[in-house]
Amino acid sequence: MRVGVPKEVKIHEYRVGLVPGSVRELVLHGHEVLVETQAGAAIGFPDQAYIAAGARIATDAAAVFAQAELIVKVKEPQPQEWVRLKPGQVLFTYLHLAPDRTQTEGLMASGCTAIAYETVTDAQGGLPLLAPMSEVAGRMAVQVGARCLEKEAGGAGILLSGVPGVPPGRVAIIGGGVVGSNAARIANGMRANVTVLDRNPRVLAALDIEFNGLVDTVFATRDALERAVADADLVIGAVLVPGAAAPRLVTRETVSRMRPGSVMVDVAIDQGGCFETSRPTTHAEPTYVVDGVVHYCVTNMPGAVARTSAVALNNATLPFTLQLADKGWQRAAAENAHLAAGVNVHAGAVTHPAVSGALGLPLAVLPG
């Protein structure tokens, strides 16, 4: 199969769909890989590294989209990429369609088969292709939140760790899954006062054991959530409903009761955000202020640490990419129900229940 890797075009996105090591594996399986020139150069993977791995270098994205049967990306396709997709072509990337009707309709119009990293499942009920970027985003959330708390960044001038004689900052993490648990590890390591809220008692129990009681675990009732948010210096939104839009758990009224200079980091922004006051931002302009509260809502947070993120993502995606290339998407999906769960759009129709429900579009059944 001919596999194509275009250079990412989303603003300040430097990750790449396939790193040279992954290209070599595909070539060893007998596949041809076409990589757009400079696709990985910004993170230390020059064209020569791809050539050494067995890839051909394309002069532009148009050549990649025109020739490839399977397109492997990182971020959701941008409008200039939708028009290059075609019937019979397979797109394998993050999509986050539930809050994005325009992109969904663009993919439907293209006639391609679009497989979303974030809805591929595993035998344990997890999301193995979302997990590595969730780990990165969770750890980054504390890092960027701490930076935003600095006075010149618009924050209240609080050091999360505190110092002797001055108490540490207070961090409230909404959601104890992969993002939330990783955020808790970093915040706890920085000696902040950390509270994790979740509705799953098993998640709370596991966190309590992991941190030996050093992190407060709270069942997420509406009252508990409002109190935790109002008391926090840094709030991290880490909720996820697989494939669906994130629930808006923090209202504008609750935000208005936070102290001026507090910070909110919405990691759920890719799925629409879990704060009522959230709106997507970019690495170029990452923050804005509502009611005196700094909001960080960058939709591709892991792109800031692009080399780490690209390698971690490839570690997870490569086995599925090989299945798609070796067998074709239909056979691969028929033999692997977890991969089939990633198919969001096929031949002009939505094929994932959560996307169908979120956007009110008809749900189609995948062919045999």
Which residues are tagged catalytic?
Answer: 96, 270
The whole-angstrom separation of Cα 309 and Cα 290 is 30
For residue 191, report the phi and psi dihedrals to the nearest 5 degrees.
70, 25
Q: What is the DSSP string of 154-186?
A: TS----TT-BTTBPPPEEEEE--SHHHHHHHHH
Distances in Å between the alpha carbon of 309 and those of 2, 132, 175, 200, 364? 25, 8, 22, 28, 33
The whole-angstrom separation of Cα 132 and Cα 136 is 6
The whole-angstrom separation of Cα 197 and Cα 44 is 39
Give the total residue count for the chain.
368
* Tally: H helices and E strands in the chain: 14, 15
Contact 32, 2 (CB under 8 A): yes
**Assigned token pair, 362:** 């008809």
The whole-angstrom separation of Cα 124 and Cα 320 is 17
CA quadruple 11, 267, 70, 2: dihedral, nearest 10: 70
Residue 224 belongs to what H/E stretch?
helix 222-231
Count CB neighbours of 22 within 10 A: 25
